Structure 1
Amino acid sequence: MPLSALLPAAASVLALAAPPAHPPAASLALALQDSTGRVSTVTLDCHPAGGDHPGKAKACAALTTVDGDFDRLPAEATVCPMIYSPTTATAQGHWRGKPVVYTHTFGNKCAAAAESAGVFEF
């Protein structure tokens, strides 16, 4: 049997021997919609941290301290402008096997970031 015929078979065997990748313990789709209807979205995976959230490590740490309960996220001491521009934050996905469905309207985008410990800071 020629060597070129053995290479694809060897690659298949090696692929089967590789340990399976573990899915993240949490996977969330986060969105912010401002008062003009503009929507920003990111993904956030935790344990291990991943996705395209710009502050994934900080967001995962905050969510870990409250076991994924968005209503219990602590507010950060941040000065935000007192300009009312309602921003609706949503989260959907799962946190350690539990479904997550969260929606809350904040006074503005800065307040959404500050009052969610940075989870909605994108």
Structure 2
Amino acid sequence: MIDTPHHWWLTALLALVLFGDAVMSFRPPVFIQRCLDGVRLPRDWWWALIAVKLLAAAGLVVGLRFPGVAFATNIAVIGYFLCAAYAHLRARFLKQEFWLNCLGMLAFSVAVLVVGYVV
């Protein structure tokens, strides 16, 4: 069975970043608005991204105590950012927001999984 992460602080940092992203999304700054508008996500659905990020942050924190939860949540976060990358590619919105926000968070999420459970 997958245990808790070897480097708990990386999982906690990912949870903090996702929580901060969710909080910023309540009144999204321009770079988040450009990103969501660029992939043509209707503004009526922006709340769903906040909920997903808050639940992911909670799952990562809970997973620091309960085996397997952080691992499963980390996989889900990677899936979320893969879907975001696909949305960017499909909308042909490959500006700075794609490279920094989307792919940056995808790379960070993958790094947390690899370093947290493999190394």
TM-score interval w.r.t. the shorter chain?
under 0.3
- Work out which structure has the larger RCO, using CA pairs closer than 8 Å and 6 or more positions apart in sequence: 2
Greater helix percent: which structure?
2
